[in-house]
Amino acid sequence: MNWRKYSMGLAGRWLAAVATLALAGCASVSSTAQFYFPYTNEMRPPKPKDAPIPIFEKAPRSSHKAIGRLAFSTTEGWGFLRKSMEYNARQNGADAVVLRSADARERSALVRVPASYDWVPVSGPAWRDKKGRVYYSTTYLPIYHPGYTYPTTWTVTSIDAEMIVFKK
């Protein structure tokens, strides 16, 4: 059996990854909970929805403990990433977030729009029969739209953040 015919090449894998990112781009902030990895088995009660969650670029000087990690990529932008960090921190009872790394990179691809047909109604001619009655007709004409390909670029943003609690 020729496995090359059935295996996905590098370009196919790349397109599958792009499709996954595009579908993940439609996700809600709550769906990012799947990317949270707890460091301990200790469960903490969730914080209220309006609880402020500071996001630090480096670990604060005050005594704290890391309770989990959130790392993922999206095409939704920085606003979505900030909201997802705050959401996951609140859900897991964290007091703050330390953003270990953030990265944004451009991805390019070709988008193919397939050819299609539209059917447009056109009023046909009217005619009279021998008794003087008028008849009308409608004809549907096909309109062909050729397919085309165009390049597109989007920004993929990644984060790696730790959820922390302050020691009292």
* Domain carrying residue 87: 9-107+152-166
pLDDT digits (tens, 9 = 90+) for 100-122: 999 999 999 999 999 999 999 98
Distance, CA of 102 to CA of 155 (rounded, Å): 13
Specify if 67 maps to a domain. yes
Question: Nearest Cα to 89, choosing from 1, 161, 8, 10?
Answer: 161
pLDDT digits (tens, 9 = 90+) for 60-105: 999 999 999 999 999 999 999 999 999 999 999 999 999 999 999 9
- Phi, psi torsion values for 46, nearest 5 degrees: -65, 150
What CATH number did the domain enclosing 67 receive?
3.30.110
Specify if 132 maps to a domain. no
pTM above 0.75, yes or no: no
Quote the number of domains for the chain.
Answer: 1
Residues in the chain: 168
pLDDT digits (tens, 9 = 90+) for 110-160: 999 999 999 999 887 778 888 888 888 888 899 999 999 999 999 999 999
Specify if 145 maps to a domain. no
Radius of gyration of the chain (CA): 28
Specify if 118 maps to a domain. no
